[in-house]
């Protein structure tokens, strides 16, 4: 998404309403569709400094300082902060900047709360075309949600309002005269930037504060005193016909995600995106907010809903993986092929690759014949540039994957001294390098998108089972195991789960194509046939592995040993590693 330099492209205006002057700032083409951005406490229009450039290339973007903040008229009366008055200001700004057609809205925190008040007014859908709400609920809806939970006092129904009460505990200080002075301790620019930076896992440099921050942080607390108790103690029935998109922060310190669960009762058209992020997403996830807002605007205007927005629809029964994009390497046969089919049967769109393009196309044809959607590509996972190019093409044509499965790999056997260095390196480049290349190329895009996701790295029981004759293969799979552990820790804060799948004895064509070093071609073929037959008799087929991979993603399992022997050896490696090494030193499988 392209950006605009907002410093030299802003038009300022003053909107007057009910004795207040509201400072508004306009960007982009005034003839384009208008998007109004509304901030909350303790921010000003500077909250949107990183979002405005992402929207201004396509839209007429308007930000404004809500009353009592920034350069707008100040007041020390709590009554002036009532939601009805703030909603009136919003309508006044919308009418001033877009008098001839309805506006789209992106709002955060108390900005979202006041826009909720506005869109629930009769006839609001004629003035507001869409509303993307970030970390700010309708207080009446929240109050009714609490009452509904408490009216059916199950442990879960009691726990959810209780955790919301704990999250909202700070409002006691906000609403109590005298206690609000406590906020003077944190109402220092550097201190507040550090606090927000920690809560949102984003650099302090991303936190944009206006020059009036200290005053806004203290005086703006009146908004709590004016609205919290009246709305929570006597919630009203408030409905809207305006299309609403909820951006729900999973790590929000103020509003728990469960508090939005009943929103569908009062909204005719609702989408919900749960994001692994903190409260101040305009600072930490500006691209996500701009993209989500744009997708909703385009869907309403054109009637074509992109995959990300379809996935966020709240009406209807959707399958677990419906409208999700799954990217799978090594999907021309075996575990990769069956995993692609398993996810496709559950509604996912599949992008599959293999070094053998004909095999990849065959898998895609099988999926299409079963009523699914699949796209085949040729890919050598050991070639980093090729993987990067593939990821770029996939991102452009299909989008960012929700699930990445690094499955491509090869088998190799033979004594260490019989294995040429070139062969050892080849195994490492494909089995380990292919996983690393896939995670780097696709994982970076998944992380930047901000919506979380899943990465499945196929390792092996050999990763924790030392044995003679498999030094290259076992080393590569052990490296995948540890790499996945490390990556899991790095991506946990971004909502991306990393699953390490460790198959045991599974009958796939990897056995019949395994390279045996240090033997003649005839002996290699004999061993390939022998072990292929042994694996066939084991009767553990790739489709069983595929089902366990799907289950691992559904249940968010980190380490997934597949087959009884894989589970047993994982426990032995943890609790009696010396015993396994003793046996391995005396038993040669090849």
DSSP 481-535: HHHHHHHHHHHGGGTEEEEEEEE-S--SHHHHT-EETTS-HHHHHHHHHHHHHHH
**Distance between CA 444 and CA 462 in Å, rounded?**
28
Contact by Cβ (8 Å): 580, 569: yes
Q: Half-sphere exposure of residue 137, counting CA atoms within 13 Å on the CB side?
A: 29
Catalytic option among 81, 260, 473, 535: 473
Contact by Cβ (8 Å): 439, 487: yes
Region label for 479, one of left (φ > 0), alpha (ψ between -120 and 50) or beta (otherwise):
alpha
Residue whose C-alpha is closest to residue 334's, from 79, 508, 192, 74 = 508
Handedness of CA 352, 354, 358, 363 (dihedral sign): negative
Strand 349-354's sheet: what is its strand order? 373-378, 349-354, 325-328, 403-406, 453-458, 496-503, 559-562
79: which residues sit within 8 A by CB, 6+ positions away? 85, 226
Active site residue 473: yes
Cα–Cα distances in Å, from 43 out to 52, 207, 210, 482?
15, 10, 7, 43
Question: Helix, strand or coil for residue 420?
Answer: coil
Q: What is the DSSP letter of 62?
A: E
What residue has token string 């790499």? 483
Cα–Cα distances in Å, from 554 out to 77, 325, 485, 557?
51, 15, 19, 8
Question: Helix, strand or coil for residue 32?
Answer: coil
Element at 146 (helix H, strand E)? helix 139-151
Contact by Cβ (8 Å): 466, 416: no
**Distance between CA 334 and CA 506 in Å, rounded?**
9
Question: Helix, strand or coil for residue 99?
Answer: coil
Q: What is the DSSP letter of 177?
A: T
Q: What is the Cα gyration radius of the chain?
A: 28
Question: Helix, strand or coil for residue 318?
Answer: coil
Longest Cα–Cα distance of the chain, Å, equals: 94
Contact by Cβ (8 Å): 17, 58: no
Contact by Cβ (8 Å): 41, 223: yes
Beta bridge partners of residue 470, listed in sequence order: 414
Give me the active site residues, please.
473
């Amino acid at each position: 998404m392209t950006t605009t330099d907002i410093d030299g492209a802003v038009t300022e205006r003053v909107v007057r309403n009910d004795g207040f002057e509201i400072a508004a700032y306009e960007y982009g083409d005034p003839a384009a569709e208008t998007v109004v951005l509304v901030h909350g406490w303790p921010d000003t229009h500077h909250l949107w400094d990183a979002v405005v450039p992402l929207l201004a290339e396509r839209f007429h973007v308007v930000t404004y300082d809500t009353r009592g903040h920034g350069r707008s008229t100040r007041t020390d009366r709590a009554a002036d902060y009532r939601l009805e008055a703030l909603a009136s200001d919003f309508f006044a700004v919308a009418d001033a900047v877009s008098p001839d057609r309805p506006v789209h809205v992106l709002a955060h925190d108390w900005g979202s709360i006041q826009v909720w008040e506005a869109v629930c007014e009769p006839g609001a859908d004629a003035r507001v075309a869409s509303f993307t709400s970030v970390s700010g609920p309708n207080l009446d809806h929240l109050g009714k949600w609490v009452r509904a939970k408490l009216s059916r006092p199950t442990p879960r129904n009691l726990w959810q309002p209780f955790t919301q009460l704990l999250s909202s505990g700070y409002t006691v200080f906000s609403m109590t005269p005298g206690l609000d002075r406590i906020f003077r301790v944190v109402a220092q620019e550097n201190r507040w930037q550090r606090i927000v930076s920690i809560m949102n896992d984003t650099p302090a440099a991303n936190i944009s504060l206006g020059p009036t921050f200290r005053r806004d942080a203290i005086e703006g607390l009146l908004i709590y005193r004016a609205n919290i108790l009246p709305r929570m103690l006597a919630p009203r029935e408030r409905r809207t016909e305006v299309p609403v998109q909820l951006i729900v922060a999973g790590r929000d310190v103020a509003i728990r995600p469960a508090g939005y669960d009943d929103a569908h009762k009062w909204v005719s058209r609702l989408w919900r995106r749960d994001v692994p992020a903190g409260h101040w997403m305009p600072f930490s996830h500006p691209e996500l907010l701009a993209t989500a807002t744009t997708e909703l605007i385009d869907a309403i205007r054109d009637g074509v809903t992109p995959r990300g927005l379809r996935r966020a629809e709240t009406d209807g029964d959707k399958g677990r993986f419906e409208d999700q994009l799954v990217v799978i390497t090594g999907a021309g046969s075996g575990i990769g092929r069956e995993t692609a089919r398993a996810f496709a049967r559950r509604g996912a769109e599949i992008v599959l690759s293999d070094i053998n393009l004909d095999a990849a196309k065959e898998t895609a044809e099988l999926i299409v014949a079963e009523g699914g959607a699949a796209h085949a590509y040729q890919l050598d996972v050991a070639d980093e540039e090729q993987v990067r190019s593939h990821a770029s093409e996939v991102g452009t044509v299909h989008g960012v994957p929700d699930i990445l499965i690094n499955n491509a790999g090869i088998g190799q056997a033979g004594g260490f001294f019989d294995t040429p260095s070139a062969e050892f390196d080849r195994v490492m480049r494909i089995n380990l390098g292919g996983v690393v290349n896939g995670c780097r190329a696709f994982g970076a895009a998944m992380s930047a998108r901000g919506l979380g996701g899943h990465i499945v790295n196929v390792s092996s029981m050999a990763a924790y089972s030392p044995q003679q004759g498999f030094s290259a293969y076992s080393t590569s799979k052990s490296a995948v195991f540890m790499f996945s552990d490390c990556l899991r820790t790095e991506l946990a804060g971004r909502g991306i789960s990393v699953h390490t799948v460790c198959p045991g004895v599974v009958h796939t064509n990897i056995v019949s194509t395994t390279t045996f070093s240090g033997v003649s071609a005839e002996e290699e073929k004999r061993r390939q046939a022998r072990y292929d037959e042994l694996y066939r008799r084991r009767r553990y087929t790739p489709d069983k592995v595929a089902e366990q991979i799907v289950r691992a993603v559904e249940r968010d399992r980190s380490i997934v040993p597949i087959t009884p022997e894989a589970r047993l050896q994982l426990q032995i490696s943890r609790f009696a590693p010396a015993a396994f090494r003793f046996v391995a030193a005396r038993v040669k499988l090849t």
